[in-house]
Amino acid sequence: MVFTALTGLFAQPPTQPEVANSSVSTLDLTTGKFNKEFPFDKPFTIHIKGIKKSYRKLQFTIVRNIGKLPAGTKPQPTRLTPEMVRAREPVMTLSDWERPADGADITEIDVVVPYKLKFNGDYSFYADPYGTRPLTAAEKQKLTASLKQNDNIANLISELAKTVAAYPEEVLSRFRDALNLAADQAVKSVDSTFVFNPPANLPQLQMLDTFRRNLDNMNLILKALSSNQQINRSRFVTLQRFVNNIDWGYLKKESSEYKQFSDAIDSLNNKKDNLPPTTVNNLKSLLPAATRAITARDNFKDELIGDVVVPFTSKIEVLNSTYRGDFVDNANFYITLDAGLAGAWRIDRALLYSGVNFYFRPIDKSIPFSNYNTFWEQVGVRTSLLLGLTFDSIEKEGVRKGLILNNKALVTGVGFRILPFMKLNGGLLVHYRYGENPLTDNSRYHLSSSPFLSFSFDLDIKPLLKGFGDALIKQ
């Protein structure tokens, strides 16, 4: 009878939000969005769809967002600084995925997350080096401005100048790998969630050809000077060594290096040496050639950043959480309804009641208690405060009367889940009690309480209890 009575309390039992019973969150790489928040307190699966067929490998990382990051920085899975680790921890590395030889058409995969995420947490999910979104206009502007001062780009141009000198006909093919590496390092130094996706074919770089011609012109002038026997050999060797070691990525007209270059030329162009006019003209043309090379270098840097690096840079961070933005849905993780049977002191019968349980942390009832390892985790998921009402009146003439709603008692107490669906509770039934003096009338009563113990069942299991009650009745 008890089971039958409990199953009829509500036509539809309250349930937790759908995410609490789901162990799969889906990420669409074409939109960069999850379909729902991550489950908490249990391992789960991320279903990733929208994988481009050009993606050969994906590396996955989840980072919990805690505190505040250093200004202008965001963590990247493989390049986390100590400051970032303190700001966002823990860093959870997942298994890599690599496209199999017979998997050319794969566009969806499942990634297992073996970690138990914290409730009410914010997380960043990284798919590296792909799984990206295009940069916003503001991000492009920030990246462009930063790359113009970036050491990786400057060093790249310096190496390019050496490649032009050593391999004038192979500069572009040799430059390709260096470009990919330098561009990736450069964009990540600006924002560690940026990733450079090398284009299949480089666009035509007209300024690169101009820069190369100016460097070639300087080398031709030096070659012509080297054959002149009237030039001071030690000074010429010094000048040649200086030109070969120019750091073209950083050279500026107002720099001390440029001044040293000018002084080295002047030291050779000494009137006392009586140099031929052709040699004098060659020496005088060196500095303007260097100035033109600097201008071409700056134009090439702008072209490289604007036409290659920025257009092929994207962002890899995808944000998610373990809570919902809707207040009511989120509150359902903290509140459950149950019904129970209580035995109370000073009351001569058992009482059915229904109550609301308030937990101090979110509860996912689909997770077994064995998933919680520490004492305080066990206490948190099992213990709740109870507030409810008895179903029937507790009135007894001359002894007590109910507190509210047709002489019903208020149920207050603490509950402890001994099974996922069943709790042991203890507390007080709050009601009124008449005075013990038989000479006083029934208008004299005071607030009182009766201690109780009870067993209660979550109303989420109503279908189970109803089926069990029906089976008993049929028998």
Q: Say whether pLDDT at 385 is over 90.
A: yes
Q: Say whether pLDDT at 356 is over 90.
A: yes
In a domain, 14, yes or no: no
Average of pLDDT values for 255-261?
A: 86
Average of pLDDT values for 20-26?
A: 69
| Residue whose C-alpha is closest to residue 296's, from 175, 409, 157, 162 | 157
315: β partners = 133, 194
Residue 447 confidence (pLDDT): 87
| Residue whose C-alpha is closest to residue 344's, from 413, 406, 442, 403 | 413
Query: What region, left, alpha or beta, does residue 447 occupy, with left being phi > 0 and alpha being psi -120 to 50 degrees?
Result: beta
Angle of helix 256-268 versus helix 277-304 axis, rounded to 10: 160
Highest mean pLDDT among 184-193, 418-427, 442-451, 461-470: 418-427
Residue 77 confidence (pLDDT): 36
Query: Is the same domain home to 145 and 127?
Result: no
Say how far apart CA 154 and CA 182 lie, in whole Å: 9
Say how far apart CA 58 and CA 180 lie, in whole Å: 18
User: Integer distance in angstroms from the first to the last C-alpha of the chain?
Assistant: 13
462 touches 9 (CB < 8 A): yes
Angle of helix 171-190 versus helix 151-166 axis, rounded to 10: 170
Q: What is the pLDDT of residues 271-314, one digit of tens each?
A: 666 778 888 888 888 888 888 988 988 898 898 888 888 888 87
Residue 464 confidence (pLDDT): 54
Cis peptide preceding 90, ω within 30 of 0: yes
Query: Is the same domain home to 104 and 220?
Result: no
Average of pLDDT values for 43-62?
A: 81
Query: Is the same domain home to 175 and 236?
Result: yes
Query: Is the same domain home to 276 and 214?
Result: yes
**Residue percentage of the chain with pLDDT more than 70:** 77
At 468, give phi and psi (nearest 5°). -70, -40
272 vs 346, residue with greater confidence:
346
Instruction: Give how far Cα 127 sits from Cα of 32, 123, 193, 352, 443, Å.
Output: 10, 13, 10, 54, 73
Q: What is the pLDDT of residues 117-127, one digit of tens each?
A: 888 778 878 77
78 vs 290, residue with greater confidence:
290
- Residue 140 confidence class, pLDDT cut points 50, 70, 90: confident
Residue 253 confidence (pLDDT): 85
Average of pLDDT values for 437-466?
A: 75
Average of pLDDT values for 406-416?
A: 92
Highest mean pLDDT among 331-335, 356-360, 465-469: 356-360
Residue 353 confidence (pLDDT): 94
| Residue whose C-alpha is closest to residue 411's, from 468, 378, 470, 453 | 453
Residue type, 78: T
Say how far apart CA 204 and CA 197 lie, in whole Å: 17
Average of pLDDT values for 16-26?
A: 58
At 2, give phi and psi (nearest 5°). -60, -45
Average of pLDDT values for 367-383?
A: 87
Residue 357 confidence (pLDDT): 93
298 vs 269, residue with greater confidence:
298
- Residue 440 confidence class, pLDDT cut points 50, 70, 90: low
Instruction: Give how far Cα 217 sits from Cα of 163, 209, 220, 294, 295, Å.
Output: 15, 12, 5, 13, 14
Residue where one domain finishes, among candidates 321, 345, 372: 321
Query: Is the same domain home to 297 and 148?
Result: yes
**Residue percentage of the chain with pLDDT more than 90:** 12
Query: Is the same domain home to 160 and 120?
Result: no
pTM for this predicted structure:
0.47
Q: Please list, residue by residue across 154-165, b when 16 or more beta carbons sit within 10 angstroms of its beta carbon and e when fewer do.
A: bbbbbbbbebbe
In a domain, 277, yes or no: yes
Query: Is the same domain home to 192 and 293?
Result: yes
How many domains, the chain?
3
Q: Say whether pLDDT at 9 is over 70.
A: no
Say how far apart CA 65 and CA 319 lie, in whole Å: 10
At 127, give phi and psi (nearest 5°). -115, 110
- The parent domain of residue 449 ranges over 332-474
Q: Say whether pLDDT at 411 is over 90.
A: yes
Q: Say whether pLDDT at 17 is over 50.
A: no
At 179, give phi and psi (nearest 5°). -65, -50
Average of pLDDT values for 209-235?
A: 83
Mean pLDDT rounded to a whole number for the chain? 77
CB atoms within 10 A of CB 326: 10
SS (H, E, C) 354-403: EEEEEECCCCCCCCCHHHCCCHHHHHHHHEEEEEEEECCCCCECCCEECC
In a domain, 3, yes or no: no
Q: Please list, residue by residue across 411-443, b when 16 or more beta carbons sit within 10 angstroms of its beta carbon and e when fewer do.
A: bbbebebeebbebbbebbbbbbbbeeeeeeeee
Query: Is the same domain home to 126 and 151?
Result: no
Residue 427 confidence (pLDDT): 94
Query: Is the same domain home to 118 and 256?
Result: no
In a domain, 15, yes or no: no
Say how far apart CA 94 and CA 115 lie, in whole Å: 9
Residue 352 confidence (pLDDT): 93
Residue 428 confidence (pLDDT): 93
Query: Is the same domain home to 112 and 254?
Result: no
Average of pLDDT values for 429-447?
A: 75
- Residue 342 confidence class, pLDDT cut points 50, 70, 90: very high
Residue 363 confidence (pLDDT): 84
In a domain, 201, yes or no: yes
Q: Say whether pLDDT at 388 is over 90.
A: yes
Q: Say whether pLDDT at 1 is over 60.
A: no
Residue 465 confidence (pLDDT): 53
Query: Is the same domain home to 273 and 306?
Result: yes
Instruction: Give how far Cα 10 sits from Cα of 192, 365, 466, 472, Å.
Output: 53, 19, 11, 20
In a domain, 11, yes or no: no
Average of pLDDT values for 391-419?
A: 88
Which of 71-80, 245-254, 361-370, 404-413 comes out lowest in average pLDDT?
A: 71-80
Say how far apart CA 100 and CA 241 lie, in whole Å: 52
In a domain, 87, yes or no: yes
In a domain, 417, yes or no: yes
Query: Is the same domain home to 299 and 158?
Result: yes
78 vs 257, residue with greater confidence:
257
